[in-house]
Amino acid sequence: MMGVPLQRIFLHTTVMYLTILRSNKISIMKLLNREEHLNCYLYDNHGDPIIAHYERKKGETFLLNKVNNQIVFLLKGKINFSCGYKVNNIFEEGTFLVLSKEYKCSVDVVEDSDIVTINMHNEINFCNHFPLEALYELNENMIPKKSIFPLKINEVISDHLNTIIESISDGLKCAYFQELKQKELLFYLRAYYSKKDLVAFFAPILNNDIRFSRLIYRNYESAKSIQDLAILTHYSVSGFKKRFIKVFGIPPQSWIEKEKAKKIYYEINCTQKTFKEISVEYGFSSTSHFDKFCKRVYGTSPGALRENIKQSIQQL
């Protein structure tokens, strides 16, 4: 084993161990000291677990409640997924995708489905020497437009998820444990997927300054002006605009309107809200101003837009 990296030895040993367990159908022991786990303040992360497992039946519709960026694994079944501009995307079993926390996401269950979600509540690091930002630095031209790019679940990820599911089933929902499993997942992604695939996969949340963009995403809706955002990020207005264009590629006011348009598009096509409710929620002074906004941005009225989506759903 001379010269073999310790990380590779660890991965190889872990996979061999899980393979032996599964091939011999050896079940993991039941959780001991259960009451200690249940009474710990870290248990289940106060109702907002880092990792969650769902079994959903055909015909169900539900929202993914995200306060963080999230990786979603579809182990079994088929779902129809809508998020921002991406409406009615069919995903098959054996795939996983990353979702930005900035957009509401709804799921229609087409076939009985088995789903695992993992929240990325901290900075994303594949290891101590490879943060998420490093993907951007590899080759900026490799980064596609901000679209959803699912990856196939390989054997290592499958075994990792099965261990997580068994642990959750046994009642092991400690936030500390789940954070370790989250970090282990990121390490596996770096070890077993090409950087080209990882760049495309993480594109919805990837740019050349994660910390700056996180501040913008967290505060742009509550900020009353570009000057407020500049103060928040400790820049002059002119310096802020230059930094913003460098990170996002367009001026801040244009970017804010595009983000607003994505969210309104989702509200029109994936909720039952009236157009008046949507216009009030997004700060329009009247429904006529809301109608003008839709015609300018989407090229049609909100009513026609909603009807077109209904017809496309019927054709699926």
Domain 6-205 shares a fold with domain 210-314: no
Write down the CATH number for the domain with range 210-314: 1.10.10.60
Rounded to whole angstroms, the Cα distance separating 287 from 293 reads 10
pLDDT (tens digit, 9 = 90+) per residue, 154-189?
A: 999 999 999 999 988 888 888 888 989 999 999 999
Average pLDDT over residues 290-299: 93
Place of tokens 């996983």: 96
pLDDT band at 313; cut points 50, 70, 90: low
Cβ atoms of 145 and 102 closer than 8 Å: no
pLDDT (tens digit, 9 = 90+) per residue, 256-281?
A: 998 898 889 889 988 889 999 999 99
Place of tokens 């500390």: 176
Place of tokens 């019927």: 314
Cβ atoms of 243 and 233 closer than 8 Å: yes
Maximal CA-CA distance, the chain: 73
45 has pLDDT over 50: yes
214 has pLDDT over 60: yes
pTM: 0.67
* Beta carbons within 10 angstroms of residue 310's beta carbon: 10
Cβ atoms of 279 and 287 closer than 8 Å: yes
pLDDT band at 193; cut points 50, 70, 90: very high
Find, among 267, 279, 276, 277, the residue nearest to 305 by Cα.
267
pLDDT band at 248; cut points 50, 70, 90: confident
Residues 6+ apart with CB under 8 A from 5: none
| Helices 155-170, 175-192: crossing angle, 10 deg rounding | 170
pLDDT (tens digit, 9 = 90+) per residue, 232-246?
A: 888 999 999 998 988
pLDDT (tens digit, 9 = 90+) per residue, 70-119?
A: 999 999 999 998 887 778 889 999 999 998 877 788 899 999 999 999 98
Q: Output phi, psi for 129, to 5 deg.
A: -115, 10
56 has pLDDT over 80: yes
Domain 6-205 has CATH 2.60.120.10: yes
User: What is the domain partition of the chain in residue ranges?
Assistant: 6-205, 210-314
